[in-house]
Amino acid sequence: MHKTNLHLTNSSPVDVPFQKNYVPTWAEDHIHYIDGGREVQLYLDKSTGTGFQTRGSYLFGHFSMHMKLVAGDSAGTVTAFYLSSQNSEHDEIDFEFLGNRTGEPYILQTNVFSGGKGDREQRIYLWFDPTKDYHSYSVLWNLYMIAFFVDDTPIRVFKNSKDLGVRYPFNQPMKLYSSLWNADDWATRGGREKTDWSRAPFVASYRGFHVDGCEASAEARYCATQGARWWDQPEFQDLDGEQYRRLAWVRKTHTIYNYCDDRDRYPTMSPECHRDRDVDV
């Protein structure tokens, strides 16, 4: 319809050392720096996990991370990469990688919170082994949509459906976070598979710390550069045809849970599901 593929050619991610944009959130001694901070490893052992966050807050933008997940028996562990605002009615955009027993595929769970409301989980099996090599996980967030990408493949879209009565994250700046922690009370098979601490420490690796957003104070209610940045332009208001074909492939062959299909939890389908092409794609 209106654009080339979202390979973000006019915004090629610029890799910068970790320390330029990020600071440890807790357990700094469990973060290991390699090559002057161009690569970072998070360690989880029985005493603690760890995490990091951006120095600044952002209102819209493109955010990506190259990650290599915990290898081997990772059951009970969760590696997360997400944006989150700072108040009670918070907004949040989540990638959560749920560990599994050796040989079983990783599950990638995504979720979107708006105005404090979440419960929009979707889960997919990745089509590659995310522990072998680095892969890119990214979020494009503007006034029109939130799009989740694995490498160049869109795996989810959450559009601005304010006109349908669905709240959308548009006025609360968010920080970008990542963390590795023990969640064996729920993460693997509903908590039935526990973390095997004999395999600790568990290690998740990162590089390519890319942030291209409208930086704002936590009090800002709008982005002063609205309309001026590449991700605000008309060609990024929606995915294109090829991207929707890729999304349909993910839905058909790799999706294992979609809140839009869950009539037990939600007897009435949420109004955004059709617009987001989460059904009938």
Query: Which residues form the catalytic set?
Result: 92, 96
Of 100, 80, 101, give the one whose Cα is nearest residue 92: 80
DSSP secondary structure letters along 215-244: EE-TT--S-TTTTTSGGGSGGGSS--HHHH
How many angstroms separate the CA atoms of 38 and 34, rounded? Answer: 6
Return the sign of the alpha-carbon dihedral for residues 222, 228, 234, 239. Answer: negative
Residue 21 pLDDT: 87
- Fold of domain 18-276: Jelly Rolls (2.60.120)
Burial class (CB in 10 A: 0-12, 13-18, 19+), 277: middle
- Return the HEC string of 114-145: ECCECCCCEEEECCCCCCCCCEEEEEEECCCE
| Per-residue DSSP letter, 186 | T
Residue 14 pLDDT: 65
Residue 7 pLDDT: 47
Please, where are the H alpha helices in the chain?
18-21, 241-253, 272-275
Delimit the domains of the chain by residue range. 18-276
How many angstroms separate the CA atoms of 260 and 170, rounded? Answer: 23
Phi, psi of 265 (to 5 degrees): -75, -40
Residues in Cβ contact with 121 at an 8 Å cutoff, skipping those fewer than 6 apart: 109, 110, 111, 257, 259
Q: Name the token pair of 253.
A: 């062959």
Whether the link from the prior residue into 201 is cis, omega within 30° of 0, is: yes
Q: Name the token pair of 255.
A: 């999706």
Cross-strand bridge partners of residue 138? 64, 149
Residue type, 278: D
Task: Give CA separation, 131 vs 7, 152, 275, in Å.
Answer: 24, 18, 34
How many angstroms separate the CA atoms of 114 and 87, rounded? Answer: 12
Rounded to 5°, the CA angle 124-125-126 comes to: 110
Q: Name the token pair of 186.
A: 């729920």
Per-residue pLDDT for the chain (281 aa), expressed as one digit of tens each?
334 345 444 455 666 778 888 999 999 999 999 998 899 999 999 999 999 999 999 999 999 999 999 999 999 999 999 999 988 899 999 999 999 998 888 999 999 999 999 999 999 999 999 999 999 999 999 999 999 999 999 999 999 999 999 999 998 999 999 999 999 999 888 899 999 999 999 999 999 888 888 888 656 666 776 778 898 899 999 999 999 999 999 999 999 999 999 999 999 999 999 999 887 64
Residue 222 pLDDT: 65
Cross-strand bridge partners of residue 222? none
Residue 3 pLDDT: 41
Rounded to 5°, the CA angle 234-169-210 comes to: 70
Return the sign of the alpha-carbon dihedral for residues 198, 128, 113, 148. Answer: positive
Residue 78 pLDDT: 97
Residue 119 pLDDT: 94
Residue 163 pLDDT: 96
